[in-house]
Structure 1
């Protein structure tokens, strides 16, 4: 990106008119803009800035002592004004028209609330063919004199009388115009430090100063002081501009450069800036060691080490934790965890991943580690559910010797009939006897009926004996205590 300033077409016309008519071109105001968020390239046809952010009366216009055709216009931006990036600048005449336009390196202008502690000065350089056509504006409201008048009327002999070699000019009192020449060792001079900060653009090695000059300047990049020199990591002042310096190397975009003028002896360490919130501490690890405190990462490492198992009531692990679900994860992303576990719970794809332990639905048991209670187990090995081998005892009471009593059923009333043959008696043929022939025919006799009655029943005793016992099953598919389901996690 090239940074430059040039006359607009309108500015060239006004300058030509002033040269032809012998009049002065009066410049009254300057403005800066942010380019609407983008870098700008100045053009002759411009009539206004891309996006103007601040305009004010010109603080001063002065001529380069070494080049009478080169002028500097200076704008002061108050400390309380800001909150935008400086990318473009313009100089306006008394009619409010754009005479000179230029572009600037991206420089953020903070407000007083953001840490700006002094006004910001922005300068633009332009050249003219006839220096008499430029009006010097020592006061924004008064056109005082042309450069020619100053040269012709104010001489070195007027300002610096003879006989003062080795002396300094100082005030004798607070009255206007009251001064005197004094020896240097008789004057106490108190100066304050002046500082400004900028954010460097990518590949930027030229830095234009807004508040300071390269005289007595200390340069810090991200809190590290650069030595004065021509090597990388050093800086040099510009040969022609006291408000410009050259870095020995470029830095990443957004790198902060702090420029401090009148730093006492230039040896004191850079103070911490309040707006940086300790981001500019040079050695944070050493600072924590001195304060006996831990960083967030150090605290996390001490709270849980890679491989530690913990449970959470949340559905997802917290920071530095993974679900202990047997998943295959990267050996490089989780290098610390892989160093602790290896392939104990699975080798993943065998090359780039490894498996986490799977604790879903499992109870955790302390590793036996040689005690002998759960011997033969390897660290991290799984164990199926089991019930310890045992016996059950039980009996039924013996009945002892005993007899049983009983009775038959009631058969009801009944009678019996007998039929026989009547034969002739061989002794007395006139008498009938029972025989095998029915000489006198058959005869039936009926016995007297027996009424309702019972019959006795005797049952032999069984002797002492026992009976078989069948016990039914109870319970579910596993043996377990009361429990609560939580998410098992592993720290990495």
Structure 2
């Protein structure tokens, strides 16, 4: 092993295994350093904490090595205003407080300006290996973490990362919290966002956004487990007054109709004095830069100007609004690398249905009990389960036990010495006990004396063994090889 190294702890391995089984990412959040309780030592995988921790802070970065996909590099910068101790050990911690990995670090002194007369930022990089590198993610506190000058210069000078890699790092940084509303000057919704279109979404598909919005925009028809997005299409967004008094009495998310503007759309001389004059009617709104109105929003005003004398019939109504650029308003729905919304939920639901020989879907691994259910066609069998109950021993005295789900047939055989002195009894023990009963048992001798043995038979048989015997011996007494055979279940 190298003089200085990083190793995963037993608790870290167990945590990684549990995350992999549950299909959730490994979340690393902090790194701590220690002085080793005054001495350099070799870390042990059973460690649950450092020998003596002197500082802890958030990780600056966590990324895969370019040449080895199973290597992860963790980086942290210890600020100049802390120190006055040696660094001999370091630890990587999960968001749940588990010591995931422990580092044997070269003994280095970390000064602090107030007591040492000199101060410096202290940069630590730890490289460790994991078979689950792609599933490890970093939780970053953007208000605390900062990049080192060396890292930035190295990136600028070497141009280590491609545009795609930079985009990935930006996505993982999660600078925007879920619920942030952003305008995009294109008609394509970027990954991680949803168009604010008043649609209904599944809380299971977007759990973070569901928690953030709650039922703020629900109308009562969303159904259990769903929530509604706010609606912004065609709307000019106005900042919430929040007690300022400019737009008093408004609640967040409330709707406000446009201000009414009156104009004269007659094609001759103005029929109503003091009003804008334009024509024809079809061009009136665009000429004045007005929005068309929804008549039902202004029942009294429309009634006054749309009926009456010829003069008032030439009066039109429009809505004022500021000049604006059409953008697509989107709301941040999830943070990379948490996989929310990327999967086609309808396709996933189809795959979640029971699989058959002709249809893709999901199925469960059979339990030991289900293995014995010959009518169950809804579970799958693993290689381990295929050997459930199977056993064998291919020796001169051996056995072959079929799995219980194949009937549990047991076949046994053996070789023993038998003395052919008339009516002698020879007990034989089976290599394995028959679970239920012996269906058949017999024996014979491997010798020319077989012709003089009259009436050889099994005197007694049980689940554990049998007794061999014969009626009489005509010739002289001899010891022969007796071969026996039995099967049952």
The verdict on a shared fold, with TM-score over 0.5 as the criterion, is: no
**Comparing both structures, which one devotes a greater share of its residues to helix?**
2
Larger radius of gyration: 1
TM-score between the two structures when normalised by the length of structure 2: 0.29
